[in-house]
Chain A
Amino acid sequence: MKKISLMGCPNVGKSVVFSRLTGVSVISSNYPGTTVDFTKGTTAIGGEKFELIDVPGTYSLAPTSKAEEVAQTMLQEGDIVIDVIDSTHLERNLYLTLEILGRKKPTIVALNLWDETKHVGIDIDVDKLEKLLDVPIVPTCAITGEGIKELASKLRDARQSKAIEPMSEEERWLKVGEIVSEVQVVHHRHHTIWERIADTTVKPITGIPIAILVILLTFLFIIVIGNLIIEYLMDPIFYNYYGPWVVGVVNSFSPDGLLHDILIGKSTIESLDFTQSLGLLTTGLYVPFSMVLPFVITFYFMLSLLEDVGYLPRLAVLVDTGLHKLGLHGSAIVPTILGFGCNVPGTLATRILETEKQRFIAVTLMAIAVPCMAQSAMIFGILGRYGMKWIFIVYCTLLMLYIFIGLLLKKIVRGESPELLLEVPPYRKPDPSTLLKKTWSKAYGFLAEAVPFVILGVFIVNLLYVSGVIGVLSTVFSPVLTTLLGLPEGAIVALIMGILRKDVAIGMLLPLGMSPQQLTIACIILTTYFPCIATFFVLLHELGIRDMLKAAGLMITVSLTVGIIMRLILIGI
């Protein structure tokens, strides 16, 4: 089977072309560098089968980064190259094209985003470009599928360019300039009113108030809509339909005893208890589906919306100066926001930062002070009943930790903190179906990951109680928990569970009958002391053992210190 390499610069819609050619759906995002590994697929064109490889986007073949090394190897392996170009940025895309053509592989060029050239006032003479490059060129619009058929049918015409020879970097830029001046005409265009409005979101005087408003509205949307879903959809399902049914079924074969308690706890049809019964089929399902999922859905909906509209790079510009004080730069806001969904993708996304120092700081701050949505949902759930004040205390404490630890790490971690250099893409109208697809795929990902682990967690808690291990551990840790932190001995079960899953851990606090002050302290400690197991392994992979140990030492120290301070402030001595 012949191999086709799909190559191009970042953010040119390569993954969409891949989906169109193979029928495999690949999730594309509106910031560069989302294809970390390469994707493979097969496609049949004119009766012949091809293997298609989606190579990570790169600006050049000179191996200065991981993505470029991968691209280099993929190019050597492929039999045919499809070079995808963003037609609205011909000049900077052509550099890679000339590099590819210099390697003398049979090549065909897709001028993608062709429809947008008309909107931005660019004319490209395709025939002339075809002559100058001496390979077939097809204008495409992958999003709508226009030109994809022609691209596939012209694949057999892919050929080695006789016009483009290998050359030096300097010569290549000169050649790019030459070609562009011959084939492209840019019509002068005045700023439209919409562009003027778009600009106000990056000017500090207007941009900062807008950013605060956007963040507040996002937060409000997540909480209000999340709560509405719980109140009018999830709770009625659980309390009116699922609860009576599951209790009835379990009672029919096991009216009491150990199995009954492990499955549904002490729940009866008259008094359904989903939060404290600790049954696999009651708490084990209620926590992920009713307490967490609604907030996960609303969070990822808002995140996808901000991402697709193109607001995040503008937020990066506005917070850049502040984040520099913490040894980071504006781009670090993207992994941080992802971390509020789940620390695992958040940690992986810190790869967009350039230096080891920045990555260590970003990852450590996230592990300590950024609660994932599952954790936040449970914090809203158990502290919300005592008033917004307590939730506010938890998040303010975490924000202060983020700032203080960042200031400290900037001073003590060695290495460079480079400056921001980031393209700010134009605002785009989000496509509702893409938006819903993205939200659904993230929510589904959450359920696939969370449900088995939550049920496992609840099962382990049952074992710990039944076997009496909890009693022993409570006594052992009681000096730290009771004397230093002012928490009941039983809180140890939450700390143990927190290593598996934070949402279950916070749920474990409910049966302990704690005061709002104690719950607040416990929530802060559970957020900061150690990451959940999934995040731990990603951290280990990204940081290596030595840095992971340093980060873990910091987490435990910070957690204990802030726990004691909060105890003194909220409860007294």
Chain B
Amino acid sequence: MMENPLSDMNSDGKPVPLTTLLPGEKAKIVALGRSIRGQHHFRTMGLMEGKIVEIIATQPARGPLVINVEGTQIAIGWGIARHILIQKI
């Protein structure tokens, strides 16, 4: 899983993983992937299709991302974040 095949499709608004965003960038969630605690858990934290996310910080060596969804900050492991598909805006 070194390179994600979707990573070069971001120019024309196609869905890309959340992990391709840089701090300060914003995007719209288009699909939620799997998580050990299920999609339900994402939604109860405010992560839903159609929501706008902003990256607050990323950590080196594929560490967790801190994102802002409607004023709530969530820390999310890289392995989960790469299953969340977004569209850059």
Q: Give A residues with C-beta under 8 Å from B.
A: 9, 59-60, 62, 64, 88-89, 91-92, 95, 120, 169, 173, 186, 189, 199, 202-204, 207, 313, 316-318, 320-321, 329-330, 354, 416, 418-426
Q: Give B residues with C-beta under 8 Å from A.
A: 23, 35-38, 40-41, 43-46, 48, 56-64, 66, 70-80
Contact (Cβ within 8 A) A421 B44: no
In the complex, A426→B74 CA distance in Å? 11
Given known contacts A89-B46, A92-B45, A202-B66, A313 and B75 CB-to-CB distance under 8 angstroms: yes
Contact (Cβ within 8 A) B77 A95: no
The 3 closest A-B pairs by CB, nearest first: A419-B77, A59-B44, A321-B63
Can you show 9 pairs from A to B with CB atoms below 8 A apart?
Answer: A60-B40, A202-B73, A316-B75, A320-B63, A354-B37, A418-B37, A422-B74, A422-B76, A423-B72
Contact (Cβ within 8 A) A91 B62: no
Contact (Cβ within 8 A) A317 B44: no
In the complex, A418→B78 CA distance in Å? 11
Contact (Cβ within 8 A) B75 A317: yes
Given known contacts A173-B48, A203-B23, A423-B72, A320 and B77 CB-to-CB distance under 8 angstroms: yes
Return B37 CB to nearest CB of chain A, in Å.
7
Return A425 CB to nearest CB of chain B, in Å.
8
Return B43 CB to nearest CB of chain A, in Å.
6
Question: Which residue of the partner chain A has the closest CB to B44?
Answer: A59
Question: Which residue of the partner chain B has the closest CB to A91?
Answer: B46
Which one of A9, A317, A424 lies within 8 Å of B59 (CB-CB)?
A317
Contact (Cβ within 8 A) B64 A320: yes
Return A353 CB to nearest CB of chain B, in Å.
12
Which one of A169, A189, A204, A424 lies within 8 Å of B75 (CB-CB)?
A424
Which one of A9, A186, A424 lies within 8 Å of B66 (CB-CB)?
A424
The listed residue with most A CB atoms (<10 A of its CB), out of B38, B57, B61, B79, is B57
Contact (Cβ within 8 A) A321 B61: yes
Contact (Cβ within 8 A) A421 B66: no
By a CB distance below 8 angstroms, the chain A residues around B36 are 354, 416, 418-419
Question: Which residue of the partner chain A has the closest CB to B61?
Answer: A321
Contact (Cβ within 8 A) A318 B76: no
By a CB distance below 8 angstroms, the chain A residues around B48 are 173
Return A428 CB to nearest CB of chain B, in Å.
13
Question: Which residue of the partner chain A has the closest CB to B62?
Answer: A321
Extra contacts, 8 of them, besides A89-B72, A92-B46, A418-B36 (Cβ < 8 A), are: A89-B46, A202-B56, A203-B57, A204-B58, A317-B75, A320-B77, A420-B64, A422-B75
By a CB distance below 8 angstroms, the chain A residues around B75 are 202, 313, 316-317, 320, 330, 420-424
In the complex, A422→B45 CA distance in Å? 9
Which one of B44, B70, B76, B78 lies within 8 Å of A9 (CB-CB)?
B44
Which one of B41, B56, B59 lies within 8 Å of A320 (CB-CB)?
B59
In the complex, A425→B60 CA distance in Å? 22
Return A456 CB to nearest CB of chain B, in Å.
44
Return A66 CB to nearest CB of chain B, in Å.
14
Question: Which residue of the partner chain A has the closest CB to B66?
Answer: A202
In the complex, A283→B56 CA distance in Å? 53
Question: Which residue of the partner chain A has the closest CB to B51?
Answer: A91
In the complex, A120→B63 CA distance in Å? 29
In the complex, A59→B39 CA distance in Å? 12
By a CB distance below 8 angstroms, the chain B residues around A418 are 36-37, 77
Which one of B37, B43, B71 lies within 8 Å of A421 (CB-CB)?
B37
In the complex, A174→B73 CA distance in Å? 23
Contact (Cβ within 8 A) A169 B40: yes
Given known contacts A202-B57, A320-B63, A321-B61, A424 and B40 CB-to-CB distance under 8 angstroms: no
In the complex, A207→B75 CA distance in Å? 14
Return B75 CB to nearest CB of chain A, in Å.
5
Given known contacts A202-B56, A320-B59, A423 and B80 CB-to-CB distance under 8 angstroms: no
By a CB distance below 8 angstroms, the chain B residues around A330 are 64, 75
In the complex, A9→B59 CA distance in Å? 29
Contact (Cβ within 8 A) A424 B74: yes
Contact (Cβ within 8 A) A207 B57: yes
In the complex, A189→B54 CA distance in Å? 14
In the complex, A173→B50 CA distance in Å? 13
